[in-house]
Amino acid sequence: MTAADPEFPPGKVFLVGGGPGDPDLLTVKAARLIAQADVLVYDNLVSPAVVAHARADAERIYVGKKAGNHTLPQIDINQLLVSLARAGRRVVRLKGGDPLIFGRGGEEADSLREAGIPFGIVPGVTAAAGAAASTGIPLTHRDHAQALVFVTGHLKDQSCSLDWPSLARPGQTLVFYMGLTSLPEISRQLIDHGMPATTPVACIRRATLPDQQTLVGTLADLPAQVAAAGIKPPALLIVGNVVKCA
């Protein structure tokens, strides 16, 4: 891209997926837009190697969220994007994974649309796909799983009140995002609603990165394994018979 590229004029925002961590998994378009941006507004889950694609003179604004510790509330992030665009900046809102899969990209797009700010969305490799590839776990498999469900590990009110009867059905793979803290509750609820306690589960921390950690167990024993190993977020949970293929 050149400085005058018509796709990215001053005052426009791109919501960009930064992928699961490995910078080689960043899309070509995402890398070009990051290099073009005047301002990079980025999350906790974006790896430093991805941020490094930004121009040396670009402003970098960290708005990362960790459990119980938000640099900025979401409503303030929404307003920040609007303000930066109205100031004539070319803005990349950089998110880990894909911006529209548990990335709050939909909320930010709503705010930009309501404010009349032009924006675009660039998909990224979501954490589930990255974790599956880096562990050899097929998310679907004709012999094991005919459906794939992405699930949040906690709701907006921080509860874990989910449709457990539906999630406990056989023949599907469940991928829990942000579910590590809720792992004991997830395991208990799935077992209570009919999923066998022997169902294999994988916990993958920092998927696709050199320090990736993977634990494999069952619904019954994985919570204790994770606690004993001291695994901390960010981590992803994959539940289902496909985990046997790891």
Residue 141 sits in the same domain as residue 223 = yes
Residue 113 sits in the same domain as residue 55 = yes
Pairing of strands 13-17, 119-122: parallel
Confidence of residue 5 (pLDDT cuts 50, 70, 90): confident
Give the predicted TM-score (pTM) of the model. 0.91
Residue 241 sits in the same domain as residue 131 = yes
Tell me which residue has tokens 């977020």: 233
pLDDT surpasses 60 at 68 = no
Residue 41 sits in the same domain as residue 93 = yes
Q: Is residue 4, in this structure, part of any structural domain at all?
A: no
Residue 21 sits in the same domain as residue 117 = yes
Q: Are 45 and 16 in contact (CB under 8 A)?
A: no
**Between these two residues, 52 and 69, which has the higher pLDDT value?**
52
Question: SS3 breakdown of the chain: % helix, strand, coil, rounded to 5?
Answer: 30, 25, 45
Q: Is residue 48, in this structure, part of any structural domain at all?
A: yes
Number of domain units in the chain: 2
Q: Are 151 and 212 in contact (CB under 8 A)?
A: no
Residue 114 sits in the same domain as residue 131 = no
Residue 118 sits in the same domain as residue 185 = no
Question: What is the domain extent for residue 232?
Answer: 127-245
pLDDT surpasses 80 at 199 = yes
Residue 199 sits in the same domain as residue 103 = no
CATH code of the domain in which 187 resides = 3.30.950.10
Which residues are annotated as catalytic? Answer: 43, 65
pLDDT surpasses 70 at 66 = no
**Token code pair at residue 186:** 């997830």
Q: What percent of the chain shows pLDDT beyond 90?
A: 89
**Between these two residues, 12 and 71, which has the higher pLDDT value?**
12
Residue 19 sits in the same domain as residue 114 = yes
Q: What is the pLDDT of residues 14-35, one digit of tens each?
A: 999 999 999 999 999 999 999 9
- H helices present in 115-238, as ranges: 127-135, 164-167, 183-192, 222-229
- Determine the pLDDT at residue 1: 42
Residue 51 sits in the same domain as residue 151 = no
> Of 72, 99, 122, at which residue does a domain stop?
122
Name the average pLDDT for the chain. 94
Q: Are 81 and 87 in contact (CB under 8 A)?
A: no
- Interval 37-47 mean pLDDT: 95
Phi, psi of 187 (to 5 degrees): -60, -45
Q: What is the pLDDT of residues 201-244, one digit of tens each?
A: 999 999 999 999 999 999 999 999 999 999 998 899 999 999 99
> Of 88, 122, 156, at which residue does a domain stop?
122
Q: What is the pLDDT of residues 144-166, one digit of tens each?
A: 999 999 999 876 666 788 999 99
- Interval 93-111 mean pLDDT: 96
